[in-house]
Amino acid sequence: MYTYPGNIHIHTTYSDGSGTIDEIAAAASAAGLRYIIIADHETLAGLPEEGIRHGVVVLVGVELNRENNHYLVLGVDRLPRGNEEEPQEMIDRLNRAGALGFIAHPFEKGSPYIAGGKSYHWTRLPERGFTGLEIWNYTSYWRGRVTSIPRTIYWFLFNRAAAVDSPPPEALALWDDYTGRGMRVTAIGTSDAHAARVRVAGIPVEIFPYAFLFRQINTYLCFKEKMSGAFPEAKGQVYAALREGRCYVSYDRLYPGEGFSFAAFRGLREEAAAIMGEEMPWQEGLFLAVRSPARRSEIRIIKDGRLFCRGGGPELRCRANGPGVYRAEVYYRTLAGKARPWIYANPIYIRSQG
């Protein structure tokens, strides 16, 4: 198994971001990322710049819809139409065309101090046809935390980690709800990077530069084979992992997520019967194993939206007790002893036979 960290949902100068694709790829390379996904607002202008840049696989999708119901669409060659009023129509249409689609910031709260309290949440959540959803969007989450000016200034200048607590519980509940209805839904963590350049009291300030965001919430992809050095193949590998849910979200600021694994096994010495994102039939004697990159961690396995088993790091094994949707969460234990939300892995779908 090979894992590749990357960053999803990035804005460039083609919409309201401040960096060019090449500058952004250089920043991603310096942060150790292996792929990035650009998603400008309603334009695919960056598409001709797809390729391997600074050793990073650069992919270009698009973020559709202006007001509400923002939707990330990947794997399209021509700009599709959005649909703010009937997002399900847009999703079905793009699904038929074979595109990947992700619900962006479904529960964005906005801030009374930013853009007059404007929030770009979902007004009509879809029933079907999408690939997955953002469970953790760094920029959107931060905005929602700006409820006090003095505290925001303190966080921004001195303690940015304190502002980011856990993915919105509503987003996790929505994900569990969809998978509980028998769907396979890929959870991703994103930056929604803009690196906006503003002036505060006449002083130029760049809010969350790309180089900063590429060390916050990343999505790690799991491949069975190494990532290809040829762009078209690597692109196919990245999109296949996202489509199937072979990926996990990591808040890398706490500790890098490299080295995490979550798999189902039939016996101790056997190869994994399924890894995160995969589906398999139920059988007796199946157990689930989670490995955390850090000793200082608390591991939880969630089955059908409820805590199933938990234990200290770096490893947790527990026996599955029947068909269900099993996913893993890891909390990083800080020196002060606080367990902080860190890694969220996509489910292993254990289905009843027949």
Residue 57's contacts (CB-CB under 8 Å, 6 or more residues apart) are 6, 34, 35, 36, 227, 231, 234, 235, 238
Question: Residue 266 in contact with residue 285, Cβ under 8 Å?
Answer: yes
What is the nearest approach in angstroms of Zn ion to the Cβ of residue 182? 28
Stretch that binds Zn ion, among 64-72, 125-133, 274-282, 291-299 (CB under 5 A): 64-72
Choice between 69 and 179, CB closer to Zn ion: 69
Choice between 70 and 235, CB closer to Zn ion: 70
Q: Which of residues 253-282 bind Zn ion (CB under 5 A)?
A: none
Q: On the CB side of 339, how many CA atoms lie within 13 Å of its CA?
A: 13
Stretch that binds Zn ion, among 187-195, 245-253, 299-307, 337-345 (CB under 5 A): 187-195
What is the nearest approach in angstroms of Zn ion to the Cβ of residue 194? 8
Stretch that binds Zn ion, among 125-133, 150-158, 186-194, 290-298 (CB under 5 A): 186-194
Distance, in Å, from the CA atom of 107 to the CA atom of 104, rounded to the nearest integer, reads 9
Question: Residue 280 in contact with residue 305, Cβ under 8 Å?
Answer: no
Stretch that binds Zn ion, among 47-55, 99-107, 234-242, 248-256 (CB under 5 A): 99-107
Choice between 144 and 324, CB closer to Zn ion: 144
What is the nearest approach in angstroms of Zn ion to the Cβ of residue 39? 6
Distance, in Å, from the CA atom of 204 to the CA atom of 181, rounded to the nearest integer, reads 49
What is the nearest approach in angstroms of Zn ion to the Cβ of residue 80? 16
Instruction: List 7's β-bridge partners, or say none.
Output: 36
Consecutive H or E run containing 236: helix 231-244
Stretch that binds Zn ion, among 101-109, 223-231, 261-269, 289-297 (CB under 5 A): 101-109
The site for Zn ion, by CB under 5 A, has a size of: 4
Choice between 72 and 275, CB closer to Zn ion: 72
Answer for which of 192, 244, 252, 329 binds Zn ion (CB under 5 A) is 192
Choice between 39 and 276, CB closer to Zn ion: 39
Q: Where are the beta strands (DSSP E) in 174-243?
A: 186-190, 196-200, 203-207, 217-223
> Which residue reads 């199937």 in tokens?
244
Amino acid at 59: L
Choice between 140 and 261, CB closer to Zn ion: 140
Distance, in Å, from the CA atom of 252 to the CA atom of 314, rounded to the nearest integer, reads 17
What is the nearest approach in angstroms of Zn ion to the Cβ of residue 108? 8
Our finding on whether 70 is near Zn ion (CB under 5 A) is yes
Choice between 65 and 186, CB closer to Zn ion: 65
Question: Residue 339 in contact with residue 333, Cβ under 8 Å?
Answer: yes
Query: Which residue of this chain has its Cβ atom nearest to Zn ion in the complex?
Result: 70
Stretch that binds Zn ion, among 104-112, 177-185, 237-245, 274-282 (CB under 5 A): 104-112
Residue 257's contacts (CB-CB under 8 Å, 6 or more residues apart) are 5, 218, 220, 248, 250, 251, 293, 342, 343
What is the nearest approach in angstroms of Zn ion to the Cβ of residue 133? 13
Categorise residue 254: left if φ over 0, alpha if ψ from -120 to 50, beta otherwise. alpha
Our finding on whether 134 is near Zn ion (CB under 5 A) is no
What is the nearest approach in angstroms of Zn ion to the Cβ of residue 123? 14
Consecutive H or E run containing 25: helix 21-30
Distance, in Å, from the CA atom of 287 to the CA atom of 14, rounded to the nearest integer, reads 48
Choice between 70 and 184, CB closer to Zn ion: 70
What is the nearest approach in angstroms of Zn ion to the Cβ of residue 41? 7
- Residues in contact with Zn ion by CB under 5 A are 63, 70, 104, 192
